[in-house]
Structure 1
Amino acid sequence: MDISVYRPGELNGTDRAAWSAVQSQAHLLGTPQLANPFLAPEFALAVGRCRRGVRIAVIREDGEPAAFLPFQRSALGVGRAIGLGVSDAQGLVHRPGFQWDPRELLRACGLAVLEFDHLVEGQKPFETASLRGFPSPVVDVDQGFDAYMARLREQSPKFIRRTLTKGRKLGRDIGPVRYVHDERDPVVLRRLLDWKSAQYRRTGRSDRFAHPWIVQLVSQLFHTRTASFAGQLSVLYAGDRPVAAHFGIRSERVLCCWFPAYDPAYAKFSPGLTLHLHMAEGAAADGLAYVDLGRGEKQYKDCLKTRELTVSEGWVARRHPVALGHRAHRAPVRALRNTVVSRPELFEPADRLLKRMGRIRSGG
């Protein structure tokens, strides 16, 4: 393999165009999972402006770019998928049928180990015993919004009836309901981040927006617009008040749910669920194939989804002392967390404890 490794600012326009072309054609060539916006060059470049150690490996065949691997590298040679911890799709973006030797790739990238937590399907050379798959629900809208709603009425009749009723009540009690699919007001984005931070604290979770680089990344992506990629803020208003909002990223075929939140003052109206239905309608109108709800067990995702993808977490490594040390450090932590998350008899009490701690921390 002919492998070159670049800093984000060193990637030339020809390589970026080739990368975007692979994504644009992915659904036609049997690799639709590669159309995810988290695998786009725009996302990798935005992370590169916010984090150190970002690199992009370009693999060429006959002098032409055939595959792209964005990653982050520590001084010791520990590699992490680009945006690990906040990205919902990771892997090698490649031409159909392309095969690679993962250890040769790691060596060329100066890595002893490369860790993923959302490796997409179809990355067989990366599949090792350390990888474990998890469901990632999606909402298919390629047949149109009416077809999706008909399916929801069949599979989740009580859920959809209750959600629509609450949406109408929101309009009667608070003000006319209005949805903006692509809101460009940064003030509303700031309000969404405040809601999300409060939600993290209220539920005992770590506040992602306490990390300045994540705030910077969201801001970068909010202002990023190309022919095949955009950061998108969607907002549900009641009267003049924003009551729920979501910020995510989209490619030509996929909208990724990323940071949804709502004003808790209007919780009884379930504005977040109404927002998700409007987002599905907007995605269908835009000609997208599906909305990716992201990995994670949530009741609302089970009600909204039409099917599930699989994403995997784990790592690929070559024989190296750093790889052994990394595995010894990371494996027990991941195993414990995934055991708790996957078993309701463990997850539910742990979730209650986190929420109780969140209320104490918030003074509630």
Structure 2
Amino acid sequence: MQDARQTMTQTATLLPLPALSANDKASWTSFRAEDPSLASPYFALSYLQTLEKVHPGIEVLKVCEGERTVGFLPFRRDLIGTCRPPDGPLADLHGVIASPDSAIDLSTALETAGLGGYAFSAVPYQQARHGLSGMTGEGNQIIDLSAGYDGWLAERYEANSAFRRTHRKILKLFDDHEIEITHDRFDPRVFNRLIELKQDGYASAGHFDVFSLGWPQALLDALCHEETGEVRGVMSVMKINGEVAAACLCMRSASVLHYWYPGYEKAFADLKPGHAMLFSLAEWAAGEGISEFHLGLGNVQYKRQMASYAAPVRQGVLAVATPQKILTRFNAWSQAREASGGRLFALPAKLARKVDRVALMGRLSA
């Protein structure tokens, strides 16, 4: 006999984030508690509420079966009606908030609400059940602290010889220099310097400066001063021989610490202060009862060494309306041309990426 829930019609309602009811908020919290893939602070309602204060305009697609709420999709729409992550370029992770045993007919829900589609770059791979199949992107690299800091060290020592060498260098750094690292203590001067370091990094790499948008810095500052919500910012500062050498701004929920904005002074680059900061953060997080330290997306060397595993994510576009379908086909065609080689063949793909950046950032200069 077929499950009655599978045959029940789903309905979709579009709401501004501040209009969520007390029952909606309770359902959101319950869904996250049931699904380990939603443990990241990115999926917490309190994170989005803080974001809404500094960058208003977040919408939520609420999906129900009868009287029962089965899921939410928070988003911000672009000029042609495509849903995008509500935190734009800051969105390491995003997606549907639902219990792990439910499947949302997201395509129908988007169409019903008059939305053109959903562009996603890093949804948990399990969300293929909602129609977000796409491509498999680079995974979220995760340090498993469930067995404590020493348990993680022992696991990585056994698994990775490069990790052993790196850790020994960090121990030597502490032996050879006067090191002071503080966590969860906000310093406005260091905060402003960290933003400058990130902006310098964007400029030298030829990337768009996300802090030129204004609200990203305001969000980080607000999270660092958050006292009541589940999610808050965590600032760490490392001094070598009395001078600030590195700083990092992370974001935490009850069980997850997310490595977000690190920076270090070039004068100390040879000492690898960033590595030392990571080890110290992992030890601090374990002491706070945090079970997962998320290093974010990217298959870079230091993340591979430090991470216990990578949680796969998906990227793509769920296109519903004609404009989104045309853009999706153009993107696929341009990527195929670029892969075939030749500078001229790469031009359509560059245009497609430019269009996507402008839609995500909301700036023509992106």
Give the structure-2-normalised TM-score.
0.81
* Aligned position for 1:358: none
Q: CA deviation at 1:134?
A: 2.4
Match of 1:3, SS state, is: strand
CA distance in 1, matches of 2:186, 2:64: 39
Q: CA deviation at 1:39?
A: 1.0
Is 1:280 the equivalent of 2:282? yes
Residue-by-residue CA offset, 1:311-349 (whole Å, 9 max, x unaligned)? 11101122x222223314544677799999xxxxxxxxx
Residue-by-residue CA offset, 1:262-291 (whole Å, 9 max, x unaligned)? 111101110000100111111111112211
1:270–1:277 distance in 2 versus 1, CA, 3 Å: same
Is 1:190 the equivalent of 2:195? no
1:8–1:134 distance in 2 versus 1, CA, 3 Å: same
* Aligned position for 1:12: 21
* Aligned position for 2:155: 151
Residue-by-residue CA offset, 1:224-248 (whole Å, 9 max, x unaligned)? 3445321221222224432222212
CA distance in 1, matches of 2:169, 2:38: 37
Residue-by-residue CA offset, 1:85-142 (whole Å, 9 max, x unaligned)? 3211111111231122112211243211100001112112344564333222111011
Given the alignment, which residue of 71, 74, 97 partners 2:75?
Answer: 71
Match of 1:287, SS state, is: coil
CA distance in 1, matches of 2:257, 2:281: 9
Q: What letter is aligned with 2:38?
A: L
Q: Are the counterparts in 2 of residues 163 and 270 from structure 1 also a CA contact under 8 Å?
A: no
* Aligned position for 1:356: none
Q: What letter is aligned with 2:14?
A: V
Q: Are the counterparts in 1 of residues 136 and 312 from structure 2 also a CA contact under 8 Å?
A: no
Q: What letter is aligned with 2:155?
A: R
Q: What letter is aligned with 1:138?
A: I
The gaps in structure 1 that reach 5 residues or longer are 341-364
Match of 2:125, SS state, is: coil
* Aligned position for 1:221: 223
Residue-by-residue CA offset, 1:148-204 (whole Å, 9 max, x unaligned)? 11122223344443444345436634xx31222212223222221112222222333
* Aligned position for 2:361: none
Q: Are the counterparts in 1 of residues 107 and 131 from structure 2 also a CA contact under 8 Å?
A: no
Residue-by-residue CA offset, 1:33-71 (whole Å, 9 max, x unaligned)? 111111111222233334454201223345343322101
* Aligned position for 2:249: 247
Q: CA deviation at 1:217?
A: 2.2
Match of 2:129, SS state, is: helix
Q: Are the counterparts in 1 of residues 121 and 137 from structure 2 also a CA contact under 8 Å?
A: no
CA distance in 1, matches of 2:293, 2:52: 26
* Aligned position for 1:325: 326
CA distance in 2, matches of 1:147, 1:339: 47
Q: Within 5 Å, which residues of 2 pair with 1:265-304?
A: 265-304=267-306
Q: Are the counterparts in 1 of residues 138 and 299 from structure 2 also a CA contact under 8 Å?
A: no
* Aligned position for 2:46: 42
* Aligned position for 2:88: 84
1:164–1:209 distance in 2 versus 1, CA, 3 Å: farther
CA distance in 2, matches of 1:93, 1:129: 16
1:116–1:190 distance in 2 versus 1, CA, 3 Å: same
CA distance in 2, matches of 1:216, 1:251: 19
CA distance in 1, matches of 2:111, 2:196: 42
CA distance in 2, matches of 1:254, 1:247: 14
Q: Are the counterparts in 1 of residues 162 and 305 from structure 2 also a CA contact under 8 Å?
A: no
Q: Are the counterparts in 2 of residues 247 and 259 from structure 1 also a CA contact under 8 Å?
A: yes
Give the structure-1-normalised TM-score.
0.82
The gaps in structure 2 that reach 5 residues or longer are 1-9, 342-366
Aligned residues: 332
Q: What letter is aligned with 1:304?
A: M
Is 1:122 the equivalent of 2:126? yes
* Aligned position for 1:21: 30
Match of 2:238, SS state, is: strand
Q: What letter is aligned with 1:186?
A: P
Q: CA deviation at 1:253?
A: 1.4
Q: Are the counterparts in 2 of residues 234 and 247 from structure 1 also a CA contact under 8 Å?
A: yes
CA distance in 2, matches of 1:330, 1:86: 23
* Aligned position for 1:305: 307
CA distance in 2, matches of 1:5, 1:316: 18
Given the alignment, which residue of 111, 125, 128 partners 2:115?
Answer: 111
Identity over the aligned pairs, expressed in percent?
A: 25
